[in-house]
Homo-oligomer: A and B are copies of this chain.
Amino acid sequence: MTVIYQRVALIGLGLIASSMAHAMRADGLAGEITGHAKSAATRATALEIGLCDRVFDTAAQAVEGADLVVLCVPVGAMDAIATEIGPHLKPGATITDVGSVKQAVVDAVSPHLPEGVHFIPGHPMAGTEYSGPRSGFATLFQNRWWLLTPPEGCDPAALARLRSLIEGMGAKVDVMDAAHHDLVVAVVSHVPHAIAYTMVGVADHMRRVSQSEVIKYSAAGFRDFTRIAASDPVMWRDVFLTNKDAVLDILGRFAEELFVLQRAIRMGDGEHLHAYFTRTRAIRRGIIEAGQDTAAPDFGRAAPPAKPGE
């Protein structure tokens, strides 16, 4: 209800930026929202559906006079954007981003920023499998975590202000350092995505099992993987290119763990399998108790309507 930043510039207008725009408007957190996207079609959509009050053909124009600049572009595009906007940032402005990797963003952006602006990298841990300016919605961040990795010596007032914007959009804030962030997300996000992509890839290659069989019978487990394997390919390419070390570390552990399970299956070691499958149930309970997923069976998916003729 209180305006926290007079002018917010959103650079990149996909799922996260459009959800931020909706959430900031719903609660009157920003006086004015300006925006820029690389594609003219996206810029036109952003105006048409009212995401931004004004959109600009260049990022440099969009950040002029902004109190808060939010970089919502794929991690691989951060360097070029920072180079472009650096000279145009308002003194005292705060700049943040929403990239899924933090050390690489710090390395790409920091060198291009002038003295006197506050760079506070961020990562909203929320998303859907959709992308683009029409995919956003105001409640995306509700009760989700938004991680901030402020550098040492970060201005406390600038940090508190950004935190109140984020909390105003419904999210919960945690602060940690960039390296720890990158390891945590390798576990909870990046490697799960790599594995989901791989499982879908395996199904795609099978000859003895047809693709139509895979699709028809996907409710048996496979379809849960396909949701995250449908996420934006550019964003995910950049995640794996820029969080390489942590991802390879966790993928290595995953492969070891999988081989132990595979060996137990080959050896027919029922006791090992039963003990392993029992332990993993407890984590699911913890997630539900923490309010991070629904307890409704099957994610609460409604039974699909019967289709005539099927």
Contact = CB atoms under 8 A, between A and B. Distances in A.
Nearest to A206: B187
Contact of A265 (B218, B230, B248): B248
A77 interface: no
Contact of A273 (B140, B144, B147, B240): B240
A239 to B, nearest CB: 9
Contacts of A3: none
Nearest to A293: B223
Contact of A237 (B208, B270, B307): B270
Contact of A192 (B204, B224, B255, B274): B224
A250 interface: yes
B218 A228 contact: no
Interface in A272-289: 273-274, 276-281, 283-287
Contact of A142 (B127, B170, B214, B306): B306
A198 interface: yes
A265 B244 contact: yes
Interface in A31-72: none
Interface of A: 76, 125-130, 135, 137, 139-140, 142-145, 147, 170, 172, 174, 180, 183-185, 187-206, 208-209, 211, 213-231, 233-234, 236-238, 240-241, 244, 247-248, 250-251, 253-255, 257-259, 261-262, 264-266, 268, 270, 273-274, 276-281, 283-287, 290-294, 297-307, 310
A247 to B, nearest CB: 6
A273 B128 contact: no
Given A237-B273, A303-B142, A183 B197 contact: no
A194 B303 CA distance: 25
A236 to B, nearest CB: 5
A193 B215 contact: no
